Structure 1
Amino acid sequence: MKKLSARRRHPLAALVVLLFALAATGGLYAALAPAPKAQADDSSQSIEITEGKKLFSVGCASCHGTHGQGSSDGPSLTGVGSAAVDFQVGTGRMPAQQPGPQIQQKKVQYTQKDIDQLAAYIASLGPGPVIPSSDQYDPAGAEQGKGGELFRSNCSQCHNFVGKGGALTDGKYAPTLKGVDPKHIYEAMQTGPQNMPSFPDTTLPSKSKADIIAYLKAVDSADSPNPGGFTLGTLGPVPEGLFAYIFGLGALLGIAAWIAARTTKAKKS
């Protein structure tokens, strides 16, 4: 007991106890704590964000601001999400060639890798719609009939009944959907670019979007049946009315003129 008491009074006893307690605490924490998550600075996502910021500074900041906050020449990009970037840049609409009532589609200026990096940077500015996975927009197995009903109810007012597009007000227009990549159609429904309203999953579920894409791909096919006869470009009631006005009314006027001429001739004789 005297030896133990003497050791307790040793000048280094408190330090030894402290070191032992620290070691025990550290060991228990290492054994029981959950595995630490990879830090963003060490991930490939962080590298994409960094490279995307460089691309943004060169090609986008002049209109959208140095930090995507927007300016008089371009809207804020905070919260637009990666899907909006993939759609706008992936279809060639951005970077914009010139201002106007509607941004024109043109040749894509960036590689898909660059687009992914830009999308990662913009997504880091605030939460927003994400780029869909391939199984979300794959039309295989989707219901074309249901998609046609949804399209006619929500989209045909602008894009026409089979997605051929149409004119809007003040120089704007709804573009044709013929030949558009299914991913970009899905992203357009998610984000609502330019004049188009957005259809998030809370409004139009992912399956319904795939159904619409399946319908558009079916009517876009060269083998698509047309039981109604001559399509007149499948542009809807406007060309049909024009055809009826020119040929139908023209035929009636011709018949009326022929009858009048015959009647006049009969009276003279």
Structure 2
Amino acid sequence: MSAILPHAKRQQAGFYITLLLLLLLSGCTTSPTGRSQFTMFSEQQMASIGQANFEQMKQEEKIYRHSPTQNYVQCVSNALFAVSGTPGSWEVVVFDDDSPNAFALPGQKIGVYRGMFSVADTPARLAAVIGHEIAHVQARHGNERASSNLATQMGLTLASAALATQDGSDARIMAALGLGAQVGILLPFSRQHESEADLIGLDLMARAGFDPRESITLWENMRSKASNNSIEFLSTHPGHASRIRSLQNAMPTALQTYQAALRQGRRPQCSAP
């Protein structure tokens, strides 16, 4: 039985090589910032998954049923949707959770946790949060993330087949490969998404008539609230200082966009409850 294993592994490796080549040839797209992307799934597939997950979350997590708060969040969101190029089809839900967090799912679904209002304490700061989440969906980050995970799993399977001996693959080498994939590919990939969403969201809030300088105050608030200072290299999110620096670098252009929006009469009238 052990003598057959290497041949079976080689067959499996050949299958994954062929599949990876086909996916690499067919999965190239471009993000809103012009960055090349690798996506393996259709947007219809991703939207269906996102919508199903969002419905499940609404069943399992407590929704914050406070109409003034929901109306406020919807007001800020609508102003952003109006300049996003995709108005009228988004769903935003406020969840009754005291953590300062928000998320986006493919299928134009956004969740905001009640605790976010402790740091996003003005309409413009909330716009920075929601603009960031819209950006994740617009830039197909969910598709990229799922594609990267699947391709990495396939690559590790291929490596396992290549390293196979009569006694099986070397577990220590495979463990090292797994760590290398996590640190070298998957975590930086997520940080890249977050940084891109920051910049796209900054442009969205400026075009909607929200003062983009408030995005920096938002991240200063987040930094002061952070309970620990994780090492950025091993984090799925950029450090707060990195985010603030990136936003500051983009601010001159964002302020020009903001002034143009004001001249066009875009002045959202959203009042926090």
**Normalising to structure 2: TM-score of the pair?**
0.25
Greater Cα radius of gyration, structure 1 or 2: 1
Structure in which a larger fraction of residues adopt helix? 2
**Normalising to structure 1: TM-score of the pair?**
0.25
**RCO comparison, higher one (Cα < 8 Å, 6+):** 2
